[in-house]
Amino acid sequence: MRGGDIIKRLKFNYDLTATYSEEISNHSFSALCIPQDTQRQKISELNISTDKGAVCQITNDSFLNKKLYGKIKTPHTSFGIHISGIADTGIDIFEEYTDYPFGAILYKAQTELTRPGESLTRYHKHFVFEKSDGVYNTALKIMRDIPNVFSYNSGSTRIHETSESAFTLGKGVCQDYAHIMLSLLRMEHIPARYVVGMMLGEGSSHAWVEALCNGYWYGFDPTNNKLVNDEYIRMSCGRDSSDCPVIKGSFYGSGVQNQSETVLVEEINVKD
């Protein structure tokens, strides 16, 4: 165990509620909000429940995230998912790289949400990276500098905001911090992926970045300017936020979907 001799045990409760402006039916949905075992964390006592008589199954998506999917045939105007369990974290400080299901080249390519424009390109030029820095220290420099030029402001950006437009605005939320860091890392030809999960002390889901450094995925949280440690529980990862939607689906009806989530992560004593 490279993470140390002390494992943090976190109890988590995740509640997602989707509401619809008008009654819908034949609702097919998928949700990426299930933590799973990784080198960093082990999940136990996992409990998943849904309402409205949803018939559900669990599978893996293209990025090997656990995906809950199902269908509700009866008419409804709201739908809820509840997930709880225990996460033993701090088991390791990284995850080993594997080229399955995708090679690292996939995470080097900019996406529609991370592609830099004039503002991010200009900002990237102000960095001075030395060959001796290596990939890890380059990522660390980027993470530490972003809070100097970008501030947290809830509600200032949209769900499909690009890294360029958020950076030009100068403020945003954790999703925007992550997209900006992904953009900068990929400009340095460093494979990097977007991560969604839960964090001790946060009341909602959180987003951060993992960079591939010398064959290992290390976590960086530019929103909080800290390395990802035993306070974090990962739920999903992908190229950007569009690969990690908490919930999406299709239905009959003209109702507009809104969603809210409540997250509670608490540390509990590890039994001897």
The per-residue pLDDT for range 71-82, each reduced to its tens digit, is 999 999 999 999
User: Does residue 81 share a domain with residue 100?
Assistant: no
Is residue 237 a part of any domain in this protein?
yes
Cα 192 versus chain centre, distance: 12
* Contact indicator for 107, 183 with CB cutoff of 8 Å: no
pLDDT digits (tens, 9 = 90+) for 199-249: 999 999 999 999 999 999 999 999 999 999 999 999 999 999 999 999 999
User: Does residue 109 share a domain with residue 214?
Assistant: yes
Rounded distance, CA 84 to CA 33, Å?
A: 10
What backbone phi and psi angles, to 5 degrees, belong to 46? -70, 130
User: Does residue 156 share a domain with residue 44?
Assistant: no
User: Does residue 45 share a domain with residue 110?
Assistant: no
Model confidence at 100, in pLDDT bands (50, 70, 90)? confident
- Burial class from Cβ neighbours inside 10 Å (0-12, 13-18, 19+) for residue 236 reads buried
pLDDT digits (tens, 9 = 90+) for 112-147: 999 999 999 999 999 998 878 899 999 999 999 999
Number of structural domains found in the chain:
2
User: Does residue 149 share a domain with residue 131?
Assistant: yes
User: Does residue 86 share a domain with residue 179?
Assistant: no
Is residue 134 a part of any domain in this protein?
yes
CATH number, domain containing residue 164: 3.10.620.30
pLDDT digits (tens, 9 = 90+) for 12-56: 999 999 999 999 999 999 999 999 999 999 999 999 999 998 999
- Tell me the percentage of the chain whose pLDDT exceeds 90: 89
Is residue 2 a part of any domain in this protein?
no
Residue 1 pLDDT greater than 50, yes or no: no
User: Does residue 111 share a domain with residue 217?
Assistant: yes
User: Does residue 26 share a domain with residue 158?
Assistant: no
Residue 253 pLDDT greater than 50, yes or no: yes
Classified as helix, coil or strand, 51 is coil
User: Does residue 129 share a domain with residue 44?
Assistant: no
pLDDT of the residue at 268: 94
Average pLDDT over all residues of the chain: 94
Is residue 43 a part of any domain in this protein?
yes
pLDDT of the residue at 272: 45
- Which domain range does residue 43 map to? 8-90+246-268
- Average pLDDT of the residues in 66-91: 96
Model confidence at 5, in pLDDT bands (50, 70, 90)? low
- Tell me the percentage of the chain whose pLDDT exceeds 70: 97
